[in-house]
Structure 1
Amino acid sequence: MEAFERARLDAYFAKITARFVTDEQVTSFLVTHLLPERPCFVHAVAAMSRLRAVLPKPKSITAAAQREVEQTVPVDALSRELFDRPKTALDYFESRAAAEPIVLLDVGGYFAPTLNDLNGSFSGRLLGVIEDTENGHRRYQALGGLPCPVISVARSPLKDPEDFLVGQSVVFSTEAVMRSRGDIPHGRTALVIGFGKLGSSIARLLHAKGVQVTVFDIDPVRRTQAMSQGFAVAHDRHSALAGAGLVLCATGAVSLRGEDFPHLRNGAYVATVTSSEDELELDGLPDVYTRTMVGDHVTRYQTTGHYFYLANGGNAVNFLHGASVGPFIFLVQAEILAGIGMLTRGDLAPGIHEVSTADRAAIAAIWLSYFNR
């Protein structure tokens, strides 16, 4: 990032924080992709709260960004196991923020498994959670009776540009991986599993590039949407896998279980939009498959009479090329900052909430004044 670009981004976040900061201050913990531009957002979170730790997503850490953040904020290792067990989660928060009011900024529902235990046992006060992703939104929604407010930005209209551009970056990176081995998507049927915002973006872009696309989604409503947009819709997962030379997993949940992999067409490429632990049940793959690296970021899984290729170890393929969506990501980050202000006020009931339409409009107007040039 050029110096003038950094200065503009810092000025943008200063404008956002000035609008949403409150007189009260709370402690925060931030789960994030630690990408090159992310330190600016981290500093903005620190301006609105006492940021006790950044927990970067393990598969999306840029060394330079981590070094910069570590100069001012502790960077702790993130794993599902850290927050899966009540004692482990409680010990972590007590060590960092004992007796303090805290807000948790999440990407993927990491705090969901022990949220109830944390709310009842933590020496401080859990004010709430802000969740960035559809996958995480569903994890919190599945808890039923939430013990605190959860502000979700996953379904915000300000996130639509990011979702569309993430879909484009997934297609770009998938094609780049294939081309590195002398293959291309054309001439193969592409199967997109999941027709949400990301999956539909991927399907449309592949179609625009001249690739034949089939869609599979367990939701019948989404299947009708896919049909209305001209896509072939698979009746079942296994028959769809058998005919696909490229499989893109975009559900935010488990797309392929262990028993699904043997149904893949020989030589098929598999890529995902999130982490392998979310989309792929690789541990359930039959032991008869051997794994061999056959190129940069390509693993061949092979057994007698069958083989397929996995891109980037099953992790988000677009992170191979930075996963950049340009300045549109700053819209979502600004909405997260607005969420901190909402939780700091402390007047929200337990349950899932969204940032108001008026605040979203204000964010969009500020963003346009800095980035519509």
Structure 2
Amino acid sequence: METFERARLDAYFARVAAQFAPEERAASFLITHLLAERPAFVRAVSAMTRLAAVLPKPKSVQQAAKREVEQAVPVDCLAREMFTDDDTAVDYFESRAAGDTVCLLDVGGYFAPSLIEVASRFTGRLLGVIEDTENGRRRYEDLDKLPCPVVSVARSPLKDPEDYLVGQSVVFSTEAVMRDRGDILHGRPALVIGFGKLGSSIARLLHAKGVQVTVFDIDPVRRTQALSQGFTVARDREAALTGAGLVLCATGAVSLRGEDFSHLRNGAYVATVTSSEDELDLAGLPDVYTRTQVGDHVTRYQTTGHYFYLANGGNAVNFIHGASVGPFIFLVQAEILAAIRMLTRGDLVPGIHEVPAVDREVIAAIWLSYFNR
């Protein structure tokens, strides 16, 4: 980023932080994609909370951004195993914020598995969680009983521009990966698994490029939506896989299990919008498949009579090119800052909550004053 762009971004976040300044300055733990522009958001979180640690998502760390953040706050290595074992999770929070009032800022439901035990055993006070993504929101909803408030921004109207542009970046990166190997999108029927906000965006963008698109979704409502928008909707996923030369997985859950990969047609490309641990059951792939790196971001899986290509190791394909969605991401980050104030008020009951519409309007107005020039 240019110096003037950094200055404008810092000024924007400073204004948002002042607008939603909490009465209580709690400690916080921040899971985030540590991309080039992210230090400004980290500074804003630090202004509103006592930032105990930043935990970068391991597949989306830009080293220059990490070095910048490390100068101000602790940066710890993130793995899902940290929070799948209750004792490990409790010990980690105690090591960084024993006895503190704490809020957790999440991307993808990392804190969910141990949340109940942490809430009951942590020596401090757990105010709640702020969750950025739809699959993360589902992980918290799947808990038998939430022990604290969870503020979700996943379904916010302020996230709509990001979702559209993420879909655009996924299509761009997928096409770039294919072109690097001399392949192109055209003449290669595509299957989009999942027709939520990201999947529908991807389907529309592929269609606009002249690609024949089929959609598969387990939700009958989404299947009707796909039909109404002119897409072919697969009744049978196995048959749809057999006919697709490109498969884009956009469910936020497991799209392809071990037995599904054998149905891919020869030479098909597979790409995802999230991490491989969320979207693909690669561990279930039969051992007879050999893995060969055939490009900077392409792995060929091959056995006798069958082969397919996996983009970016099964992780989000758009992170190959930085996953940039421009300044629209700052709308969502500002809503996360507004959610910090909601949690620190201490008046939310356990359950799923959303930022009020009036706060979103304030955020949109501030954003427009900085970025609609």
Q: TM-score range by the shorter chain?
A: over 0.9
Which residue number corresponds to residue 113 of structure 1?
Answer: 113
Alpha-carbon deviations, 1:79-98, whole Å to 9, x = none? 11000000000000000000
Residue 205 in structure 1 maps to residue 201 in structure 2: no
The Cα shift of 1:62 comes to: 0.1
SS of aligned partner of 1:137: helix
Check whether the contact 2:270–2:309 (CA below 8 A) recurs between aligned residues.
Answer: yes
SS of aligned partner of 1:301: strand
The Cα shift of 1:173 comes to: 0.1
SS of aligned partner of 1:30: strand
Rounded to whole Å, the distance in 1 between the matches of 2:2 and 2:344 is 34
Alpha-carbon deviations, 1:137-165, whole Å to 9, x = none? 00000013210000000000000000000
Check whether the contact 2:23–2:345 (CA below 8 A) recurs between aligned residues.
Answer: no
Rounded to whole Å, the distance in 2 between the matches of 1:345 and 1:89 is 25
The Cα shift of 1:23 comes to: 2.5
Which residue number corresponds to residue 288 of structure 2?
Answer: 288
Rounded to whole Å, the distance in 1 between the matches of 2:35 and 2:259 is 35
Which residue number corresponds to residue 337 of structure 1?
Answer: 337
SS of aligned partner of 1:260: helix
Which residue number corresponds to residue 310 of structure 1?
Answer: 310
Alpha-carbon deviations, 1:24-71, whole Å to 9, x = none? 110000000000000000000000000010000000000000000000
- Write the letter of the residue equivalent to 2:72: T
Alpha-carbon deviations, 1:193-240, whole Å to 9, x = none? 000000000000000000000000000000000000000000011100
Alpha-carbon deviations, 1:249-273, whole Å to 9, x = none? 0000000000000000000000000
Check whether the contact 2:242–2:264 (CA below 8 A) recurs between aligned residues.
Answer: yes
Check whether the contact 2:169–2:324 (CA below 8 A) recurs between aligned residues.
Answer: yes
SS of aligned partner of 1:60: strand
SS of aligned partner of 1:33: strand
- Write the letter of the residue equivalent to 2:87: K
Rounded to whole Å, the distance in 1 between the matches of 2:161 and 2:352 is 23
Check whether the contact 2:22–2:340 (CA below 8 A) recurs between aligned residues.
Answer: no
Which residue number corresponds to residue 41 of structure 2?
Answer: 41
Rounded to whole Å, the distance in 1 between the matches of 2:177 and 2:296 is 8
SS of aligned partner of 2:258: coil
Which residue number corresponds to residue 263 of structure 1?
Answer: 263
Which residue number corresponds to residue 74 of structure 2?
Answer: 74
| Residues 9-88 of structure 1 mapped to structure 2, 5 A cutoff | 9-88=9-88
Rounded to whole Å, the distance in 2 between the matches of 1:23 and 1:210 is 53
| Residues 1-373 of structure 1 mapped to structure 2, 5 A cutoff | 1-373=1-373
SS of aligned partner of 1:251: coil
- Write the letter of the residue equivalent to 1:33: H
Rounded to whole Å, the distance in 2 between the matches of 1:66 and 1:261 is 36
Rounded to whole Å, the distance in 1 between the matches of 2:96 and 2:275 is 27
Check whether the contact 2:23–2:344 (CA below 8 A) recurs between aligned residues.
Answer: no
Rounded to whole Å, the distance in 1 between the matches of 2:289 and 2:352 is 43
- Write the letter of the residue equivalent to 2:337: L
Rounded to whole Å, the distance in 1 between the matches of 2:323 and 2:24 is 35
SS of aligned partner of 1:259: helix
Identity, in percent, stands at 80
Aligned alpha-carbon RMSD (Å): 0.4
Check whether the contact 2:245–2:265 (CA below 8 A) recurs between aligned residues.
Answer: yes
Rounded to whole Å, the distance in 1 between the matches of 2:365 and 2:82 is 39
- The number of aligned residues is 373
